[in-house]
Structure 1
Amino acid sequence: MEHTLNTRVLLVDDEEEFLSVLANRLEARDLKVSTATRGEEAVAIVDQKDFDAIILDMAMPGMDGLETLQKIKEKHPDAEIIILTGHGSIKAGVEAMKLGAEDFLEKPVDIRELMEKIQDAKEKRVLILQKKSQEEIEKILKSKSW
């Protein structure tokens, strides 16, 4: 897959063995992967660092995936979040999408499908950042009296 170089991904899942295996599989595909095992930890990491995609488990003790999604989106509305769950339901998926999730995948996840979703999220994020930069340039140009 092209354009994966420098793709920054945050994986959030309370199942540490799954988290480790998935992180290794993504790193083997040249992604830069950070991990968190709790929703609170994920929110703190996202406050410190930018990611092209956040892969978030739905069912976690404490702050669950939906609450974590809400907290991240409050401060970082442009965050591209993909929900992963082993306990998928249509209702939960719809709720996640309403709250701003980019996509919803069930475990066990197909690595090719996940890579496609990550690439889509990165491309969308790049477009959003380009648009913001263009708007900022236009704002600066308008504010100057040439």
Structure 2
Amino acid sequence: MKKYKILWVDDEIEMLRPHIMFLEEKGYDVSTVTNGKDAIAEVKNREYDLIFLDEMMTGMGGLETLSVIKELNPNIPVVMVTKSEEEALMNDAIGSKITDYLIKSVVPSQILMVCKKILDGKKISGEYVTKDYLEDFSKISRRLLDDLDFDDWIDINLKMVNWELELDEHREVDLQQTLSEQKKESNQEFSKFVEKNYEYWINNKGKEDVPLLTTDIVEQFVLPHLESADGPVFLFVLDCLRLDQWLILEKHLLNYFSIEKDYYYSILPTATPYARNALFAGLHPSESENYYPDLWQDNKDDERSQNKHEKELLQFLLDRK
């Protein structure tokens, strides 16, 4: 096990001796200095995994010391320890890219918690990821033996995609191959499920045992907004976007939008010329060919742009409704 090196900077360091001894008993290598200049010298001469930095010190203050430390090593985690509860100071410290912020007086267990979170957080998290995934692996394997409905398959896919993202964050647990094999098995069973039910779905629109399909999207999710919205309604269609890609994108959008998610099943074929035209038309390909033979034939004759009539198809759909 790696012995982490911690530097504690405080002009009253002797008062913190019990905390330091506690950390050393837990296996940490703790060095101490009493001022900012000595702290900077230590950072220049030795590599540290974590620094506890007092904010109010004689001579060079904590924020000034922090600024120099970050210039020397921008990646080293620094925890500011201070008696002050002033919001302005907290903002200054956060703006200076501290890792954490503690208000004195602190107890040894608080310090240990910070050390574990910063230094061992990924390792501890990885251990729980392994445990939780193996439990979910068993549950999913058992579910694949059941008679699943379309909601069950959405749930299973969500679990697998979320595990895929989680395991990407924890490469050290080495479970990607296990997940890949389970996904392969799941895809095989899902293909059988679609083959068995697809014809029923397209012939029984609106029944409770039929999922939403590509052809239902505008009617279900766009028209209600057109009827109730006070301003413009925007429909963005992101072609070929996988669920895992969306979940990553969603994290960045949550700061700006309130997001509600719904799931649907694609029509077959899932290829762009068929699925996107079906989305805008609200019709299956064979229905579009019957209703709008000129548009359909025009699409066939131009392989470079088989979706060039999406505007017209959407307008026809809106006119029908």
| Residues 1:53 and 2:50 aligned together | yes
Is contact 2:8-2:52 (8 Å) kept?
yes
Is contact 1:52-1:79 (8 Å) kept?
yes
Give the drift of 1:124. Answer: 7.3
Higher helix content, 1 or 2:
2
* From 61, 76, 79, the counterpart of 1:79: 76
Distance 1:29 1:88 in 2: 29
Is contact 1:9-1:31 (8 Å) kept?
yes
Give the drift of 1:7. Answer: 1.5
Q: Relative to 1, partners in 2 of residues 1:10 and 1:111: Cα closer, same or farther, differing over 3 Å?
A: same
Q: Deviations over 1:42-80 (max 9, x none)?
A: 010011111111000000011111001000001100010
Q: Relative to 1, partners in 2 of residues 1:16 and 1:33: Cα closer, same or farther, differing over 3 Å?
A: same
* From 82, 88, 96, the counterpart of 1:91: 88
| Residues 1:66 and 2:63 aligned together | yes
Q: Which amino acid letter does the alignment assign opposite residue 67 of structure 2?
A: Q
* From 100, 104, 109, the counterpart of 1:103: 100
Q: How does 1:1-146 map to 2 (within 5 A)?
A: 6-123=3-120
Higher strand content, 1 or 2:
1
Q: Which amino acid letter does the alignment assign opposite residue 61 of structure 2?
A: D
Query: What SS is found at the alignment partner of 1:11?
Result: strand
Distance 1:53 1:92 in 2: 21
Query: What SS is found at the alignment partner of 2:17?
Result: helix
Q: Deviations over 1:67-122 (max 9, x none)?
A: 01000001100010000012232221221111011010011113222212122222
Q: Normalised by the size of structure 2, how large is the TM-score?
A: 0.36
Distance 1:22 1:122 in 2: 17
Give the drift of 1:22. Answer: 2.4
Distance 2:3 2:13 in 1: 24
Is contact 2:67-2:96 (8 Å) kept?
yes
Query: What SS is found at the alignment partner of 2:84?
Result: coil
Distance 1:21 1:117 in 2: 16
Distance 1:101 1:84 in 2: 11
Q: How many residues are paired up?
A: 123
Q: Which amino acid letter does the alignment assign opposite residue 107 of structure 1?
A: K
Cα RMSD of the aligned pairs, angstroms, is 2.0
Distance 1:91 1:21 in 2: 30
Query: What SS is found at the alignment partner of 2:48?
Result: coil
Unaligned ranges ≥5, structure 2: 124-321
> Could you say which structure has the larger radius of gyration?
2
Unaligned ranges ≥5, structure 1: 127-146
Moved more, 14-23 or 82-91: 14-23
TM superposition outliers: structure 1 runs of 4+ over 3 Å = 123-126
- Which structure ranks higher in relative contact order (CA pairs < 8 Å, sequence separation ≥ 6)? 1
